[in-house]
Amino acid sequence: MRFVDEASIHVASGNGGHGCVSFRREKYIPKGGPDGGNGGRGGDVILRAEPRLLTLYDLRLQRSYRAENGQPGQGKQKHGRNGEDLYVDVPVGTMIFEQAEDGWEQVADLTEPGQEVVVVRGGRGGKGNEHFKSSTMRAPRFSQPGEEGEEKRLKLELKIIADVGLVGLPNAGKSTLISALSRAKPKIADYPFTTLTPQLGVVEDDLGRQIVLADIPGLIEGAHAGAGLGHTFLRHVERTRLLVHLLSCEDMDLENPFAGFDLVDEELALFSADLSAKPQIRVINKIDLLDDDRIEAIRAAAREKGLPVFLVSAQRGDNLDELLAEIWRLIDEAAEEA
């Protein structure tokens, strides 16, 4: 199944059932009076956050949703059945927009499993003539029609719910790191843009606590303006509590070894001030490709710049326990501040 994080759908609630005009006709009961029942209410269309879904792909396949109409009333004071509500499941983290005069207006943000929002309400059922009888109106010969339901065009956008976002330049080793730290099994190769969709992984500690990691496709210069693949997925790290910023030692030069960090930081800031303000853990990956002298030179350069960094090898597993401990520490700090 393809990862889809945007969809446009048409939703329509059910029409209300018409009220009934009827009079009681039984032997030995002349002029039995009005007994027309009310029409049933039309069904609502309800969007519901389903944790088992990770993509809006299904809503690309089916773009139109209509709830059931209410049934009309009948004689003998029989009320029409209400129309069934229609539930449409979407991933947790889905934002819902409806078309307004001046563009798209956000109406809901489903961030919790099971959270629901009624996007269109069913029409009210019409009253039957039995409802209108009174001391001055013994035989009303009219009823109410059912109200029409609502119709709307909705735009859905998915922002992945994750605790930690992995960002960095292409081929920095984010997919290898998320597979080493979690249960994720992303596609891994030695060419840029291996990750074409966000990948999620779950890390569990000894106490049974869990955190979700999101591997975001690599960012390049100009990503905030649409260059490369990263712009499409930058919004998926907006909900994270902290960022793990990876830089491959292959992308470091002697004159400015941390230029890769600066480039991605600039793209994050240009896309969203909130993103650039998130706590970051800076990680230099693939140290298994370096000798001891080069590793020590990188440590010295980081100390000189006052830049806390973790030097790891996601492939070999070097220093991953220390990195994971720091991730948990910052997650706990963020939870206390929330």
Q: Residue 56 falls within a domain, yes or no?
A: yes
Q: Does residue 243 share a domain with residue 104?
A: no
Strand 151-158 relative to strand 6-12, pairing: antiparallel
| Res 195: pLDDT | 47
Q: Does residue 261 share a domain with residue 153?
A: no
Q: Say yes or no to pLDDT of 313 above 70.
A: yes
Q: Does residue 151 share a domain with residue 168?
A: no
Total structural domains within the chain: 2
Q: The tokens of 331 are what?
A: 């997650």
Q: Residue 222 falls within a domain, yes or no?
A: yes
| Res 2: pLDDT | 66
Q: What type of residue is 48? A: R
Boundary residue ending a domain (119, 139, 158): 158
Boundary residue ending a domain (133, 158, 183): 158
Q: Does residue 147 share a domain with residue 42?
A: yes
Strand order in the sheet with 116-120: 86-91, 45-50, 116-120
Q: Does residue 233 share a domain with residue 192?
A: yes
Compute the distance between CA of residue 329 and CA of residue 336 in angstroms, rounded to an integer. Answer: 11
List alpha helices for the chain, DSSP H.
57-61, 174-181, 230-233, 259-271, 273-276, 292-305, 320-337
Report pLDDT digits (tens) over 4-59: 888 999 999 999 999 999 998 888 877 788 999 999 999 999 999 998 888 898 99
Domain span including residue 228: 164-337
Q: Residue 51 falls within a domain, yes or no?
A: yes
| Res 42: pLDDT | 97
Q: Does residue 124 share a domain with residue 214?
A: no
Query: Who's near 177: CB < 8 A, 6+ residues apart?
Result: 166, 215, 244, 246, 283, 285, 312, 314
Compute the distance between CA of residue 38 and CA of residue 129 in angstroms, rounded to an integer. Answer: 8
Q: Does residue 192 share a domain with residue 136?
A: no
* CATH code, domain with 75: 2.70.210.12
> Poorest-confidence range of 29-43, 156-170, 227-241?
227-241
Report pLDDT digits (tens) over 198-214: 777 888 877 778 888 88
| Res 108: pLDDT | 95
- DSSP-assigned letters across all residues of 125-166: PPPPGGGG--SS-SS----PPPPP--EEEEEEEE----SEEE
| Res 120: pLDDT | 97
Q: What type of residue is 76? A: K
| Residue that the structure tokens 């730290």 belong to | 181
* CATH code, domain with 305: 3.40.50.300
Q: Residue 134 falls within a domain, yes or no?
A: yes
φ, ψ (nearest 5 deg) of residue 139 = -140, 65
Of 160, 79, 183, which Cα lies nearest the Cα of 124?
Answer: 79
Compute the distance between CA of residue 256 and CA of residue 47 in angstroms, rounded to an integer. Answer: 50
Q: Let me know if 152 is exposed, middle or buried by CB neighbors in 10 A (0-12, 13-18, 19+).
A: middle
* Helices and strands of the chain, counted as H and E runs: 7, 14
| Average pLDDT value for the chain | 86
Q: Residue 312 falls within a domain, yes or no?
A: yes
| Res 273: pLDDT | 83
Claim: this prediction has a pTM higher than 0.85: no
Q: The tokens of 21 are what?
A: 């005009």
Q: Does residue 145 share a domain with residue 55?
A: yes
Q: Say yes or no to pLDDT of 1 above 70.
A: no
Q: Residue 1 falls within a domain, yes or no?
A: no
Compute the distance between CA of residue 186 and CA of residue 300 in angstroms, rounded to an integer. Answer: 34
Q: Does residue 318 share a domain with residue 302?
A: yes
Q: Does residue 99 share a domain with residue 194?
A: no
Boundary residue ending a domain (112, 128, 158): 158
Question: Does 313 or 275 have the greater pLDDT score?
Answer: 313
The pLDDT confidence band at residue 193, using thresholds 50, 70 and 90, is very low
- DSSP-assigned letters across all residues of 176-203: HHHHHHSS------SSTT---S-EEEEE
Of 58, 159, 48, 160, which Cα lies nearest the Cα of 113?
Answer: 48
Q: Residue 246 falls within a domain, yes or no?
A: yes
Q: Say yes or no to pLDDT of 158 above 50.
A: yes
Q: Does residue 219 share a domain with residue 196?
A: yes
Cβ-contact 78, 67 below 8 angstroms: no
Q: Residue 224 falls within a domain, yes or no?
A: yes
Q: Does residue 185 share a domain with residue 284?
A: yes
